[in-house]
Amino acid sequence: MRRNELTNSAVDNNADVNNTATPTLTDEQKQSIVTAMKIAYYKDFYRRGIITADQLEQLLAMQPSAPTSQTDNAA
């Protein structure tokens, strides 16, 4: 039993040391992630031939902080 008590106390001590708080993102960070994911999807659609270069440019232009031209880097 003594060994089990030591193990349990070590686990309790480690729980006190480890910070298990959930990280939080600001609204700006969340929006940046969503925008980056949309751009990645649009580029993939272009790479697969689902949309044209003009359509890709239009979709990228609608994004809040989209770079001016991504068709060269889409592949």
Give pLDDT tens digits for 12-63.
666 556 667 888 999 999 999 999 999 999 999 999 999 999 999 999 999 9
What is the model's pLDDT at position 31? Answer: 94
What is the model's pLDDT at position 64? Answer: 84
Residue ranges of the domains in the chain? 26-75
3-class secondary structure per residue, the chain: CHHHHHHHHHHHHHHHHCCCCCCCCCHHHHHHHHHHHHHHHHHHHHHCCCCCHHHHHHHHHCCCCCCCCCCCCCC
